[in-house]
Amino acid sequence: MSHPRKVNLASCQFKADPYPFYAALRANAPVYRTTLPGRRPVWLVSRYADVVALLKDERLVKDRRNTTPGRNGKQPWMPAFLRPLAQNMLDLDPPDHTRLRALVHKAFTPARIAQLRARVEALCDELLDAAERRGRLEVIEGYALPIPLTIIAELLGVPPEERAAFRRWSANVVSVASAVDFARALPGIWRVMRYLRALCARRRAEPQDDLLTALVQAEEAGDKLSEDELLAMVFLLLLAGHETTVNLIGNSIHTLIAHPEAAEGLRRSPERIKPAVEELARYASPVVMATERYAREDLELAGVAVPRGGLVLGVLASANRDERQFAEPDRLDLGREANHHLAFGQGMHYCLGAPLARLETQVALTTLLRRLPELRLDRPGQPLRWNPGLFVRGLEQLPVALPA
């Protein structure tokens, strides 16, 4: 069996076109042991059926402490300001994960999200009006980013003048792929945590009609949310609540520019936007890897041995191009039926914000195609640069041409 070439999974160069490597994994090494930057061993799972299985496998846990008998509850040393982040629900197992998810689930139900449609529509038009006044549109910074960042900030009650600073800090956090990256990101994480503590203190003193006040009141009730869990929850909602959707919107627009016939068909038939967004999420997955899982015991995945404590990553972007699951997976088909992609994950850690991400992307694309019917790059000859990082895939910039 030939093995795939060694690559830096977090590099900008790899992110430009990772799909041939994923195809080689699926064909030759569906559970592939490699090392991450910093020489950390990892097992990559690349086939659709295997990724679905691992996302539901109770032998794989989110909290690494649960892999070592007798050490449950003991944290490795970390700076004091980072400790609350260990309590975020992405990194927890039941029953803590179940309890924390239930606290915020009500804010992200489809019915609640549907009420935001008018606000998202108005915001998209405001952003394009501003671009027209400037005479230029850089899609990431001027459109794909402000939509989810504004909406989640408004839900949580973050004042407008404080959002730009949060964006700078969060960009550092999601680019972490090695110990060196993590060290570089520490000042930004420290600033975020200091800011969130102050923001929570303001909500205790002056409650508002927002999600943050509801979470603060749950923390004050004492039996639902600790202070560390509160800080971790707000950090996760602000970070995950915009960073991945930026890339879903940006990658979708980039894909439509590369497929002008599909873009024109969608512009002429905007009622097809829902299946179109599902296909764009599959085809240009903004989240490349599911978050970490650790083997609770020695186990086998698709015939490959993984030792207890081993780090396992499901490659969502590979599963979404698996020819065993999708007909012609490398072809964009905005009308694809039975599109059971994994862009939002699956199982108990399925993306809580999926209804919001879908709504924001549907409105963003419909509005852009309506107002820029001939969607194209501003500088078509220049190469586009992808952001580094292990877990998400998105462009640094995407300049599009405005009508003269």
Selection from 381, 152, 140, 365 nearest residue 275 by Cα: 365
Q: Report how far residue 363's alpha carbon sits from residue 116's, in angstroms, rounded to the nearest whole number.
A: 11
User: Quick check: 58 pLDDT over 50?
Assistant: yes
Query: If pLDDT is split at 50, 70 and 90, which confidence band does 176 have?
Result: low
Structure tokens at 259: 């497929």
Domains and CATH numbers, the chain: 12-400 (1.10.630.10)
pLDDT score at 238: 75
Within 10 angstroms of residue 403's Cβ, the number of other Cβ atoms is: 8
User: Quick check: 26 pLDDT over 50?
Assistant: yes
pLDDT score at 1: 42
pLDDT (tens digit per residue) in 389-402: 889 999 999 999 99
Which position has the higher pLDDT, 5 or 371? 371
pLDDT score at 190: 79
Selection from 330, 334, 312 nearest residue 321 by Cα: 330
Q: Report how far residue 77's alpha carbon sits from residue 124's, in angstroms, rounded to the nearest whole number.
A: 44
pLDDT (tens digit per residue) in 83-105: 656 655 566 666 777 777 777 77
Q: Which helix (H) or strand (E) holds 212?
A: helix 211-221
pLDDT (tens digit per residue) in 5-16: 778 998 999 999
Q: Which long-range contacts (CB under 8 A, 24 or more apart) does 258-263 make?
A: 259/332, 260/375, 260/376, 262/332, 262/334, 263/369, 263/375
pLDDT (tens digit per residue) in 332-355: 999 999 999 999 988 877 788 888
Query: If pLDDT is split at 50, 70 and 90, which confidence band does 242 have?
Result: confident
User: Quick check: 112 pLDDT over 60?
Assistant: yes
pLDDT score at 299: 94
Q: Report how far residue 50's alpha carbon sits from residue 7's, in angstroms, rounded to the nearest whole number.
A: 22
pLDDT score at 231: 82
pLDDT score at 83: 61
Query: If pLDDT is split at 50, 70 and 90, which confidence band does 179 have?
Result: low
Structure tokens at 88: 């975020």
Mean pLDDT of all residues in 161-180 = 64
Mean pLDDT of all residues in 254-279 = 97
Query: If pLDDT is split at 50, 70 and 90, which confidence band does 282 have?
Result: very high
Mean pLDDT of all residues in 119-138 = 96
User: Quick check: 218 pLDDT over 70?
Assistant: yes
pLDDT score at 182: 62
Q: What is the pTM of this model?
A: 0.87
Share of the chain above pLDDT 90, in %: 53
Structure tokens at 399: 């300049």
User: Quick check: 188 pLDDT over 90?
Assistant: no
Residues with Cβ within 8 Å of residue 126, at least 6 apart in sequence: none
Share of the chain above pLDDT 70, in %: 85
CA atoms within 13 A on the CB side of 317: 22
Give the range among 3-17, 219-233, 282-296, 361-375 with minimum mean pLDDT.
Answer: 219-233
Strand partners, 43: 33, 312
pLDDT score at 173: 61
- DSSP secondary structure of 316-382: HHHHTT-TTTSSSTTS--TT-SS----TT--GGG--TTHHHHHHHHHHHHHHHHHH-SS--BSSTTS
In this structure, the chain runs to a length of 404
Within 10 angstroms of residue 271's Cβ, the number of other Cβ atoms is: 7
Q: Which long-range contacts (CB under 8 A, 24 or more apart) does 143-146 make?
A: 143/249, 143/253, 143/364, 143/368, 144/245, 144/246, 144/247, 144/249, 144/250, 144/253, 144/364, 144/398, 145/242, 145/246
User: Quick check: 318 pLDDT over 80?
Assistant: yes
Mean pLDDT of all residues in 131-141 = 94
